[in-house]
Amino acid sequence: MSTSVSCGSEGSTTEFLADVDVEFDESISGPVFSYGTTNLYRCSHDGEAACPCECLGSYDCPVHRYRAADGDVTVVFHAADFDQLQAVMNEFRERYPGVDVQSLLQPPLSGTPEERIFVNRGKLTDRQYEVLETAYEMGYFERPKEANATEVAESLGITQSTFTEHLGAAQRKLLGDVLETGT
């Protein structure tokens, strides 16, 4: 889902794209335009900043990703500097007491914005992280390999099939962020 916010003197408008099969409550009217597999929606706000995207728009923070699932809203946004980030987070904590910051990231300044991505390491279970970290430290990902799956599994005290299962699950979760599949 992508989101843009425009603020004016008489309130603001949030536009976002959503898959055609996504259903919304009555506060969001039907799509403004359909692109086949995605629809464009537009919501007007009264200036109360009830929507996180509207709040971010008032701070000139572009929204990178907005996702609503299972009653939770995840918003990935860009702040120009730490002071702006603090101001936004203070506002969020006032308006949305249940806000939970999952992570903060200062991306490298080189490359294009599309090349700078957020990878949520918190998606990994403790065991998946341990398997990934051990495999990395032992040189499993080096070319040529410094350790094979059997050696890494033995160091962890697990079978090779359990190692490959944990490693595959960890890779899938991290690659979901890299490829922006939402996995």
Assess whether 91 and 125 both reside in one domain: no
The total number of structural domains in the chain stands at 2
Compute the distance between CA of residue 71 and CA of residue 3 in angstroms, rounded to an integer.
18
In a domain, 110, yes or no: no
**85 or 68: which leads in pLDDT:** 85
Q: Could you read off the pLDDT of 104-157 as tens digits, one per residue? A: 776 666 667 666 666 777 788 989 999 999 999 999 999 999 999 999 999 999
In a domain, 100, yes or no: no
**4 or 84: which leads in pLDDT:** 84
Assess whether 9 and 83 both reside in one domain: yes
Assess whether 14 and 89 both reside in one domain: yes
Assess whether 48 and 89 both reside in one domain: yes
Token pair of 102, please? 């999952």
* For residues 75-84, average pLDDT: 81
Assess whether 11 and 63 both reside in one domain: yes
In a domain, 167, yes or no: yes
Structural domain containing residue 56: 3-95
In a domain, 163, yes or no: yes
In a domain, 61, yes or no: yes
**Is 80 exceeded by the pLDDT of residue 42?**
no
- Low-confidence winner among 16-25, 54-63, 144-153, 172-181 (lowest mean pLDDT): 16-25
Assess whether 30 and 79 both reside in one domain: yes
Assess whether 82 and 136 both reside in one domain: no
* For residues 30-58, average pLDDT: 72
15-30 in b/e form (b: 16+ CB < 10 A) is bbbbeeeeeeeeeeee
Assess whether 16 and 72 both reside in one domain: yes
The model carries a pTM of 0.44
